[in-house]
Amino acid sequence: DSGVTQTPKHLITATGQRVTLRCSPRSGDLSVYWYQQSLDQGLQFLIQYYNGEERAKGNILERFSAQQFPDLHSELNLSSLELGDSALYFCASSASPGTTNTGELFFGEGSRLTVL
């Protein structure tokens, strides 16, 4: 158990819809990352938040957005869903700077999104 919690574990929805994926990082971790794993693209970095602020952006579509709340949980919002958005979405967290930050990312179990 990595200590990172993601909900829901599975989600089935239709094209054009909007969904929200939720992530609670490990206790004490200020950084949250979102990754998308699809068959054709592999594991792709989407976005990183640190203590509520966006720190790094990857290949995140404009239809997708994320935020990190004061309690440090994060949500990834996916809108106008397309068939190609079907994927496993991972959240990860890492130890904060100033601690024993080895750079290791602790991943949640993922949220599997199926768009029909």
Partner 1 sequence: AQKVTQAQTEISVVEKEDVTLDCVYETRDTTYYLFWYKQPPSGELVFLIRRNSFDEQNEISGRYSWNFQKSTSSFNFTITASQVVDSAVYFCALSERGRGAQKLVFGQGTRLTINP
Task: Enumerate binding residues for partner 1 (CB under 8 A).
Answer: 2, 31, 33, 35, 42-43, 45, 48, 50, 55-56, 58, 88, 90, 92, 94, 97, 102-110, 112
| Residue 60 backbone phi and psi in degrees, to 5 | -95, 130
What is the rounded end-to-end Cα distance, in angstroms, of the chain? 31
User: Considering beta carbons, is residue 79 or 88 the nearer one to partner 1?
Assistant: 88
Residue 86 beta carbon to partner 1: minimum distance, rounded to whole angstroms: 15
Rounded Cα distance, 3 and 6, in Å? 10
Would you give the distance in Å from CA 57 to the centre of its chain?
A: 12
User: Considering beta carbons, is residue 10 or 14 the nearer one to partner 1?
Assistant: 10
